A and B are shown apart, each in its own frame.
Chain A
């Protein structure tokens, strides 16, 4: 079964995303911020990470830079999922190693298609 880690400080977003991902037959784990996510991937590296940008403790961007600089031989796909919707943010995310970008709000079709695009759908 494919695995996804949702990293978002909003309980509502995590719940919505989990519901969609589970209908797409993903095993889902959740983290509340970047630091929480870094700890979780040490235990189990998911196939894909759904990553919010603005979070307390550690932002999505900081988490992504840590992840891409880490020595893990297998790197997960990262889909940014954020309210930041301008070209500057999108470009910065891609340059930092994001594979795809979702602007909130999103629906099932958007998420499903983005997961297909990065090769885990």
Chain B
């Protein structure tokens, strides 16, 4: 299947208008692979026909399905383990001391894809249950992809997915095998978390305040101005003393003054107290 420049530009514009994400030239090679199953199911033999079908408006769900197919839902359990360890062994104990009065902790996994990051956190809390006795731990996962959020809610993973990043002992403890090729997370873990469809670009944050925000391998898909606007939104809902965790290749440096590197926890960022939250200045909430 040939992907013409015109076709790929139209699809890139569709993706950006719905999600804020850029389909950079280097990502356009994915178009064919990503859209092939959808085109096959609809009996469309070229991207031009697909674009005509979207433009005709005869199938209102088609554009949404195209966007879903173009989103990159790559993720795995305990991704970037060293930073995850820093979060679990450095930042969370510090926050636990700071929130001793309320015994409440609110965590947002923004761009959670199919839920592995959310469940990694929930398993870690469950394994240190005695330390968090009496605490209310609220873990929310959001993603712009409806299908990813639905998968996350199911907590059902293929054999290939379940072992990516997950120690076998944790797999044995928290998953049950379904058939020969699928593994479902235990109801105890599933009930400890929640998920919702949410656009970082087009919507306000889902809550007013979070102690920890994980937004990993998300910003890299946004153009710089959008990335900065998203970081401003995250800053506006990061509680005092709270922290932000980005993907391994991402940074706030040069993008936002609202966060600074956490000197005690390498790889994490904390709210820059010298900066007022931009979204609050604009009265967005």
A interface residue numbers (CB < 8 A to B): 85-87, 90-91, 94, 100-103, 105-107, 109-110, 113-114, 116-117
Contact = CB atoms under 8 A, between A and B. Distances in A.
B164 A113 contact: yes
B160 to A, nearest CB: 7
Contacts of A107: 160, 164
Contacts of A85: 159, 180-181
Contacts of A117: 81, 167
B78 interface: yes
B172 A90 contact: yes
B91 to A, nearest CB: 20
Interface in B80-101: 81
B151 to A, nearest CB: 18
A26 B81 CA distance: 20
Nearest to A112: B165
B204 interface: no
B167 A102 contact: no
A116 B77 CA distance: 13
A62 to B, nearest CB: 21
29 contacts: A85-B159, A85-B180, A85-B181, A86-B177, A86-B180, A87-B177, A90-B168, A90-B172, A91-B172, A94-B168, A94-B172, A101-B168, A102-B163, A103-B163, A106-B160, A107-B164, A109-B76, A109-B165, A110-B160, A110-B163, A110-B164, A113-B76, A113-B77, A113-B81, A113-B164, A113-B165, A114-B163, A117-B81, A117-B167
Interface in B204-233: none
Contacts of B160: 105-107, 110
A117 B168 CA distance: 9
A110 B77 CA distance: 10
